[in-house]
Amino acid sequence: MNTLGIILPKTPNFNSRPKDWYVLTKSDIKYVLDISTVHYKALINFAAVTGLRVQDIASLTVKDFMTATEEYHGCSEVDDFLDSSPEGMIGFWELFPHKTRRLNVPCKVCNTPESSDAILFSLNERVKYFEAKNEKEGLDLRIAKTDPLFANRKLRYKGFLNPHHLSITLGQYKHKLNAERERVFKYRYEQGEISKETYEESIETIPNFHAHGLRKFFITTLAQNRVDARISALMEGHKAPIATDSRM
């Protein structure tokens, strides 16, 4: 707009909100988990319950998982760990996130028993893959402590996932989630359960599924449960809200 020779900024549309404004729900994440592979099921579950950033998740090793759950198994070798680890382990993770490492900002967070069970199942499926490859090709593949916790299938589960490619892969689930949510809203509209206006509003509020959306879900869950701001910052890998706070 040009008024008296002055170029004025465009008035923002305050009634319009970007897709990223809306937070994923438990049912959204459950739907994606139900259509995911065994290995991505473990990764997505872990990301949703820890809120860790993609770069940190991609760099975790099997040894990190063994350390996070050591009070449940006391194993030092991977084979023993996979054979004797109990179900329902709660992992406790202590790390310095890549994004804030130079600032010496720590992250301390737990993952749920269900998440640990999914990871163990994924690792045991990897063992079966190695056994089949060994028998067919005369190899000696096996899981090592230095192997990635969430491995790259194209690198025979021995290579680490590329964080950028991982973000792209997770983002692809949004199309399936959007299609499913639109189908449900359309059905409810056709059945007369909701009005056309509500149907259109519902379509606009379908959240995007992506890596940061899982982190946002975790952070929102902490806020909804009124977790202390200092504890929340520590779990999120953020700086303490008060600069003079001592390390916890």
| pLDDT confidence of residue 21 | 67
| pLDDT confidence of residue 160 | 97
Query: Is residue 105 assigned to a domain?
Result: yes
The most distant pair of C-alpha atoms in the chain lies apart, rounded to whole Å, by: 81
Residue 41 has pLDDT above 80, yes or no: yes
Query: Is residue 50 assigned to a domain?
Result: yes
Residue 100 sits in which domain range?
20-236
Residue 67 has pLDDT above 60, yes or no: yes
Q: How far apart are CA 228 and CA 187, in angstroms?
A: 41
Query: Is residue 127 assigned to a domain?
Result: yes
Query: Is residue 12 assigned to a domain?
Result: no
Query: Model confidence over 89-116: pLDDT tens digits?
Result: 999 999 999 999 999 999 999 999 999 9
Query: Is residue 244 assigned to a domain?
Result: no
For 152, list phi and psi in degrees, rounded to 5.
-90, 115
Q: What is the mean pLDDT of residues 117-137?
A: 97
Query: Model confidence over 132-183: pLDDT tens digits?
Result: 999 999 999 999 999 999 999 999 999 999 999 999 999 999 999 999 999 9
Higher pLDDT pick, 232 / 4:
232
User: Comparing C-alpha atoms, which of 78, 86, 170 is closest to residue 130?
Assistant: 78
CATH number, domain of 47, equals: 1.10.443.10
Query: Is residue 1 assigned to a domain?
Result: no
| pLDDT confidence band for 62 (50 / 70 / 90) | very high
| pLDDT confidence of residue 18 | 59
Contact 149, 62 (CB under 8 A): yes
Number of structural domains in the chain: 1
Count of residues in the chain: 248
Residue 5 has pLDDT above 80, yes or no: no
Higher pLDDT pick, 58 / 240:
58
| pLDDT confidence band for 6 (50 / 70 / 90) | low
Query: Is residue 42 assigned to a domain?
Result: yes
Give the number of C-alpha atoms closer than 13 A to the C-alpha of residue 219, restricted to the C-beta side: 16
| pLDDT confidence of residue 9 | 65
**Side chain identity, residue 12:** P
DSSP3 helix / strand / coil % (the chain, rounded to 5): 55, 10, 35
Contact 247, 106 (CB under 8 A): yes
Higher pLDDT pick, 88 / 14:
88
Q: Locate 33 and state its tokens.
A: 């988990």
For 36-165, strand residue ranges (E) read 91-95, 107-111, 151-152, 159-160
Higher pLDDT pick, 240 / 165:
165
Query: Model confidence over 190-230: pLDDT tens digits?
Result: 999 999 999 999 999 999 999 999 999 999 999 999 999 99
| pLDDT confidence of residue 82 | 97
| pLDDT confidence of residue 15 | 54
Query: Is residue 7 assigned to a domain?
Result: no
User: Comparing C-alpha atoms, which of 163, 176, 179 is closest to residue 47?
Assistant: 163
